[in-house]
Amino acid sequence: MRAAVDACRGLRLLRQEPWECLASFICSSTKQIVQIRQIVRELAGAFGEPVAAPADRGPLHAFPGPAALASAGEAALRACRLGFRAPYLLDAAERVVDGRLDLEAVGRMPTVEAREALMSVDGVGPKVADCVLLFAYGRQDAFPIDVWVRRALAELYFPKARRLRPERLARFSTVHFGPYGGYAQQYLFHHIRLRAGRVGPTPTARVTPTGGSEDGR
DNA sequence: CTCCAGGTTATAC
DNA sequence: GTATAACATGGA
């Protein structure tokens, strides 16, 4: 993996606030990263509290809390280009508001339980749950397998395989990469996207999952 | 126009 | 158990 490592020195894993992370990744399914960032910005602009911003930037808004989104209603969420993900995000917000999902308690659970708790939300499957575990809760063994990581694994580790079941890749990732698999996942992600020309070859290595909560220009 | 995008779910063999 | 379509929206 030397090529990937060389092209990405200084890579870090984020520790995002759990709700923002969960909500952002719920918005992420079958969306391009640039569009996910757009959705997050729209949600912040529509429902988030203003925060202090430099004069040369546009108005900044914090990512809206679960209560703000729960009371927004599905139609208002759809207006932020969420499409079929709107009811998913709404379900997540309502669960957090009424306590069925306690994001603080999730942080104290063993990883397997935490994963199940996250996946109780409609629209949260294995990949999104693993992203939240890795990017919000710091579970460095979490190994989110998205379309890019799947390609990287298939190409680098199973070049002969005709068809790779998700469960097969999941099992391989845990036994092969172990407790710091999350870092390996990030390098694989960056490597395969770099090679595909989807990201510039800058060595800044700022691999951001969804973009954060800024609403500026 | 067709295909794909940091997936998940419902439905049918 | 496994396979496939549908889900909104926008960009390539």
pLDDT confidence tier of residue A209, bands split at 50, 70 and 90: very low
Tens digit of pLDDT for each residue in A132-182? 999 999 999 999 999 999 999 999 999 999 889 999 999 999 999 999 999
pLDDT of residue A2: 54
Using only C-alpha atoms, chain A has a radius of gyration, in whole angstroms, of 18
Residues across chain A: 217
Tens digit of pLDDT for each residue in A105-126? 999 999 999 999 999 999 999 9
Q: Which domains does chain A have, with CATH numbers?
A: 2-207 (1.10.340.30)
Tens digit of pLDDT for each residue in A5-50? 556 778 899 999 999 999 999 999 999 999 999 999 999 999 999 9
Type of residue found at A129: A
Protein-covered nucleotides on strand B (Cβ within 7 A): 5-9
Residue nearest to nucleotide B4 (CA to C1'): A30
pTM of the predicted model, to two decimals? 0.91
| SS3 state of residue A69 | helix
Q: Are A136 and A209 in contact (CB under 8 A)?
A: no
Comparing CA positions, the residue from A111, A109, A104, A118 lying closest to residue A140 is: A111
Nucleotide lying nearest to A81, CA to C1' measure: C9
Place of tokens 């984020």: A14
Does the CB of A189 fall within 7 Å of any strand B atom?
yes
